[in-house]
Amino acid sequence: MSASHDEHPGSLGVLMDIPSVARMYDYLLGGKDWYEVDRQAVLALRLVTPDIDDVALRNRMWLQRAVYFAAAELGIRQFLDLGTGLPTQRNVHQVAQEIHPDARVVYVDNDPIVLAHGRALLAENNRTIMVAGDMAQPDTVLLAPEVLDLIDFGEPVAAIYASVLHCLPDEAHPYEVVKHVRDALPSGSCLALSHLESEDQAAAEALTTSMRTSTGYWGRVRTRGEIGGFFDGFNIVEPGLGDIAEWRLDLPAVELDPAPDYVRPDAASPVIEFGGAGIKP
């Protein structure tokens, strides 16, 4: 959204003076559903992580490949996208339903703008829904009547955490959150997960501090070992966990347009999106 949209807050309960992670991500992906406060937060973030635009774009391309993998190679027809963010190009349901027209997708988010735009996008798609829920409280999702109407937890499900778990601080017990979802999934289900990672403590702390200062509530950048813990109880698929920019490049993905003011940085920072996919035995 342009800055002029700030003059018309509407009735969505949006806090216009506080950046939203979903809207910041939308800005990084060349979207239009952001406010000036989100743009300013991205500018501040670029000062500590100059290639954050590339990190976001590579993550979105990984998401396309991960969905393609689950649908085409595993034959999964049910998808649960937790902390989905604002709709953009090549969303989960578009990739999945190109492979399986009967694929069912549940998007989950607690941002009112995400919910409003998502529901508008999906108004005529009866196999895809947007649900108001907090990924930090998985029962609000797993037991929601509209979710149970669409998703059969007796059949394999692909659970997706695309660049969102770093939004949860340790006191929100993110590992227990993922374990709770894992325990609800049947054998043959898939976990697709990406997470901001750095082994450089100073870089990790700089990005974490910037996000907490901007948004008021955020988690932290974690290490590879910490991120690997989210996959407990899953069999990691080849090529294993790593930089998601290099994950299964044999699978199709459409490149996305960057933010309008994107300028390729001179050098990459030591922060990447780390993750991969696992199958529940």
> Is 164 part of a structural domain of the chain?
yes
Domains contained in the chain, number: 1
> Is 257 part of a structural domain of the chain?
yes
pTM of the model: 0.93
Pick from 171, 158, 152: which is nearest to 82 by CA? Answer: 158
Task: Report the pLDDT value the prediction gives residue 87, as an integer from 0 to 100.
Answer: 86
pLDDT, one tens digit per residue, over 121-157 is: 787 788 999 999 999 999 999 999 999 999 999 999 9
CA-to-CA distance for 143 and 213, rounded, in angstroms? 34
> Is 175 part of a structural domain of the chain?
yes
> Is 6 part of a structural domain of the chain?
no
CA-to-CA distance for 94 and 35, rounded, in angstroms? 26
> Is 85 part of a structural domain of the chain?
yes
pLDDT band at residue 15 using 50, 70 and 90 as cut-offs: low
Look up the CATH number of the domain holding residue 264. Answer: 3.40.50.150
> Is 9 part of a structural domain of the chain?
no
> Is 2 part of a structural domain of the chain?
no
pLDDT, one tens digit per residue, over 56-111 is: 999 999 999 999 999 999 999 999 999 999 888 789 999 999 999 999 999 999 98
Residues 6 or more apart from 148 whose CB is under 8 A from it? none
CA-to-CA distance for 35 and 33, rounded, in angstroms? 7
The structure tokens listed for 183 are: 């325990």
Range of the domain at 258: 14-279
